[in-house]
């Protein structure tokens, strides 16, 4: 049994697994004449106990995935947004938490009725986003599939890939989620809340098998797969991205450095690497690097479909 088969056999699928796959399958059928992208977004939680009180998590807020989803939708793609529950979502990301309250005000209309309205000074911000959201909603071009922990993420990705196995080159997988590399196998996990009275906690985390291996080579051999590589040390970013391309045999890795990921990424193919950058002026004008990434990736997808990439 391979490493990833062993991993899957030690976890049951998530409760909503079948309904999520039905949703993905129906969505793919409706949009079979369009380009479809599955975006993964946000971090994965790794439980420390079966009755989970604590887990190991990572920094990912889901900005890359949720912003990219909006730009793919703008170019006409149908989008399956597989995201960490509670992380940023397309369109809603612009109005998070307290900000929403700042955009609204309570007013009385002419007949004395109390109403809630968007403040005049905020309409220019709210209207374009609302319009885009309503268009996408009326066209049914976005579905959201949530996950929380690592096993659920891996099950859902495998299930989605099985749905895509019959699809052709028009399907893209854009793997922006920050997937944990480490976990505790269920047979080594505490059943109940780990007790502090037992003293300092020493845990041994095992390596999660790299899902890119079966994904690219067995599950969706025809799809356009793009993985991301996050590093904190610039000097190893391109070599690690290239090593992933050599190992998994997909076409494109997008590299980013934790601290500069909103200003710069590096596009790495088997024979080239080039930067995409947003300048401080572009940022001030509201341009996000995710727009540049998606424009580039959409062009490359077109070449991939034509067989020239």
Q: How many CA atoms lie within 13 A of 293 on its CB side?
A: 29
Q: Which is nearer to ligand PMT, 28 or 67 (CB)?
A: 67
Q: Which is nearer to ligand PMT, 5 or 134 (CB)?
A: 5
Structure tokens belonging to residue 189? 């996990």
Q: Which residue ranges make up the site for ligand PMT (CB under 6 A)?
A: 60-64, 175-179, 181, 208, 210-212, 227-230, 256, 261
- Closest separation in Å from C-beta 178 to ligand PMT: 4
Residue nearest to ligand PMT (CB): 63
- CA 92 – CA 83 distance, rounded (Å): 13
Nearer to ligand PMT, 46 or 143 (CB): 46
In the complex, the smallest distance separating the C-beta of residue 179 from ligand PMT, rounded to whole angstroms, is 4
| DSSP letters for 104-137 | EEEEE-TTS-EEEEE-GGGHHHHHHHHHHHHHHH
User: Buried b vs exposed e over 94-112: b needs ≥16 C-beta within 10 Å?
Assistant: bbeeeeeeebeeeeeeeee
Residue number with CB closer to ligand PMT (60 or 190): 60
As measured in angstroms, the least distance from the Cβ of 247 to ligand PMT is: 10
In terms of CB distance, is 143 or 161 closer to ligand PMT?
Answer: 161
The least distance separating ligand PMT from the CB of residue 131, rounded to whole angstroms, comes to: 25
Torsion of CA 253, 152, 78, 241, to 10 degrees: 0
Smaller CB distance to ligand PMT: residue 48 or 215?
A: 215
Beta 224-231 vs 171-175: how paired, if at all?
parallel
Q: Nearest distance from residue 57's CB to ligand PMT, in Å?
A: 12
Greatest Cα pair distance in the chain: 72
Closest approach of ligand PMT to the CB of residue 125, in Å: 21
The burial class, CB within 10 Å (0-12 / 13-18 / 19+), for 235 is: exposed
């Amino acid at each position: 049994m391979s490493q990833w088969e062993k991993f899957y056999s030690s976890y049951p699928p998530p409760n909503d697994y079948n309904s999520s796959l039905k949703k993905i399958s129906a969505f793919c059928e409706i949009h079979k004449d369009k380009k479809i992208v599955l975006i993964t977004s946000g971090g994965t939680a790794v439980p420390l106990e079966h009755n989970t009180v604590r887990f190991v998590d990572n920094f990912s807020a889901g900005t890359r995935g949720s912003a990219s989803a909006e730009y793919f939708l703008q170019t006409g793609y149908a989008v399956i947004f597989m995201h960490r529950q509670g992380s940023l979502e397309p369109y809603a990301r612009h109005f998070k938490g307290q900000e929403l309250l700042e955009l609204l005000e309570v007013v009385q209309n002419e007949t004395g009725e109390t109403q809630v309205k968007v403040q005049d000074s905020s309409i220019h911000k709210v209207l374009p986003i609302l319009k885009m959201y309503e268009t996408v909603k009326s066209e049914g071009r976005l579905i959201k599939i949530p996950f929380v922990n690592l096993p659920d993420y891996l099950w859902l990705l495998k299930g989605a890939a099985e749905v895509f196995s019959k699809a052709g080159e028009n399907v893209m997988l854009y793997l922006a989620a920050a997937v944990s590399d480490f976990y505790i196998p269920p047979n080594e996990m505490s059943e109940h809340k780990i007790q502090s009275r037992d003293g300092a906690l020493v845990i041994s985390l095992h390596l999660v098998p790299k899902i890119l291996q079966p994904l690219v080579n067995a599950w969706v051999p025809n799809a356009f797969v793009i993985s991301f590589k996050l590093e904190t040390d610039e000097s190893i970013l391109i070599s690690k991205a290239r090593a992933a391309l050599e190992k998994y045999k997909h076409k494109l890795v997008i590299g980013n450095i934790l601290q500069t990921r909103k200003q710069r990424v590096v596009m790495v193919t088997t024979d080239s690497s080039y930067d995409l950058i947003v300048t401080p002026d572009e940022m001030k004008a509201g341009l996000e690097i995710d727009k540049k990434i998606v424009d580039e990736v959409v062009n490359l997808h077109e070449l991939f479909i034509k067989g020239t990439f």
